[in-house]
Every structure is written in C-alpha cells, then in structure tokens.
C-alpha cells in the first residue's frame, strides 16, 4: 500500500538513526521507499529540509506529493528551504495534490513542535510492524496515511460554480445597455481566464501524478529484478 510516513523525533541524532533504519528496511525489502527527507522544525516555526539528504529514487522533492506535504508542515510561519530552491512554486502546497486530509496535517503538526525533527517518506508498505518496531526504541512517533484513502480532485465543484457565474454574466450582457456591456465583458474575460487556469492546473496535476506513478512502478520493478538476481546467485 502506498503511504506517506511522518516520523517525529525529539532530537537530530535520533532522527538520523530513524532515517538510517528506514533505509535499512528498504534494503531488506520490508518496505520500498520512493522518496524521503529529514526535516528540522525551528523555534520560529519554519521547517528546513536537511541539505545533506538525497531524496530517494525519485531524485527530487520538486513537484512531488512528498514535497507538497513538507510545504504543508511548514505551517503559517512558512518553509525555509535549504536543499531545494523554488520547491513550492506554482501552488504545490495543496492538500489535493498530496491526497491527504487536513486532519493528518493537524495530527502531525501537534507533535512536530519547534526544535523537533522528522523523517518523511513516500513508501510502499504492506504491513506496519517493521517500521513501528524500528522506530519505537528510538522514541519516534509514526504517523501514516494511505494515499489511496484520499482521491485526487481537480476542483470540479469550483470550476462548475465559475462556469455558472460565467453563464449568468453572459445572459446579463445580452440584455445590458451598451455602457454596461463593456464592464460585463471585462468580468467575463477575467472569469474565463480563471477557469482556464484552473483547468490547466488540473491537467498539470494529472500529468505529474502519472509521471510519479510510472516512476514508482519502475522502482518496484528494479527492486524485484534485484531480488531475483540475488536469489539466483544464492542457488548457484
């Protein structure tokens, strides 16, 4: 099952141990990590991505669901990006993009307090015991949410509402006096631009989701091939 994990630790040393334990579980085949990062929550509420982290097989946090999740965890105080410049440009900080409910963000934020650290990961996890057993001795609090539990949305209701407003404005324009037609046309043009922008964002999100899904399939395939090759060597 494809899940987002956020594991909160009291200090940086424990967070590094937790990160390494998570990577070891990936090496063992207990889980598959698609992307990961380690965060620091500062006294002013900002969240920094640790510079020395690579971000897993996907290669970058930019435009990914994990990147968007990190942005949300920055909260009202914002996000201090150390590793990826412009990570959240273009509205990446969007609950619809990461397919996670705001209750998950709230639960994590209550634990990820200033001066604490967290390991975040986009993983394939068939059962919860391996991760939980490795994190409990380190004092790590594990939050997880299956991405399949929350569907992608493209703001259909919002677009439908704007289209209804657009239809009404056009109907009014047809009956309006000449001096009013120009003002209505300006509003019609602005609203139509918003609709087109909304539809384009939806298209971009679908494309990004498809690319991420393809990358995840390739990661799982490469892991399966590696396990087969290792098994063949053992039997030789």
Dihedral sign (CA 67, 70, 74, 80): negative
Q: Strand 79-80 to strand 141-146: parallel, antiparallel, or no bridges (unpaired)?
A: unpaired
On whether the CB atoms of residues 41 and 74 are closer than 8 A, the answer is: no
Please write the tens of the pLDDT for every residue from 89-134.
333 444 455 566 677 888 898 999 999 999 999 888 888 889 999 9
27: phi then psi, degrees, rounded to nearest 5: -60, -35
Per-residue pLDDT tens listing for the chain (236 residues) = 888 899 999 999 999 999 999 999 998 889 988 888 899 998 888 888 875 555 555 555 555 677 778 878 875 444 444 333 334 333 344 445 556 667 788 889 899 999 999 999 988 888 888 999 999 999 999 998 877 554 555 456 567 777 887 888 888 888 888 877 888 888 888 888 888 887 787 777 677 767 777 877 787 788 778 877 877 777 66
What is this structure's pTM?
A: 0.64
């Amino acid at each position: 099952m494809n899940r987002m994990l956020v594991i909160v630790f009291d200090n940086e040393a424990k967070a590094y141990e937790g990160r390494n334990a998570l990577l070891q579980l990936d090496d063992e085949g207990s889980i598959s990590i698609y992307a990961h990062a380690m965060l620091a929550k500062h006294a002013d509420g900002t969240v920094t991505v640790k510079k020395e982290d690579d971000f897993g097989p996907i290669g970058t946090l930019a435009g990914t669901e994990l990147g968007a999740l990190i942005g949300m965890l920055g909260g009202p105080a914002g996000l201090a990006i150390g590793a990826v410049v412009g990570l959240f440009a273009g509205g990446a900080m969007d609950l619809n993009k990461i397919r996670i409910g705001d209750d998950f963000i709230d639960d994590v934020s209550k634990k990820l307090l200033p001066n604490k650290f967290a390991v975040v990961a986009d993983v394939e996890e068939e059962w919860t015991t391996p991760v939980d057993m490795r994190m409990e001795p380190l004092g790590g609090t594990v939050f997880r949410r299956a991405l399949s539990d929350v569907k992608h949305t493209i703001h259909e209701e919002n677009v439908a509402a704007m289209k209804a407003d657009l239809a009404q404005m056009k109907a009014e324009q047809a009956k309006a006096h000449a001096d009013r037609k120009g003002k209505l046309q300006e509003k019609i043009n602005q609203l139509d631009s918003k609709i087109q922008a909304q539809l384009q964002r939806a298209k971009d999100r679908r494309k990004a989701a498809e690319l991420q899904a393809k990358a995840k399939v390739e990661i799982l395939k490469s892991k399966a091939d590696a396990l087969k090759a290792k098994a063949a060597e053992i039997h030789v």
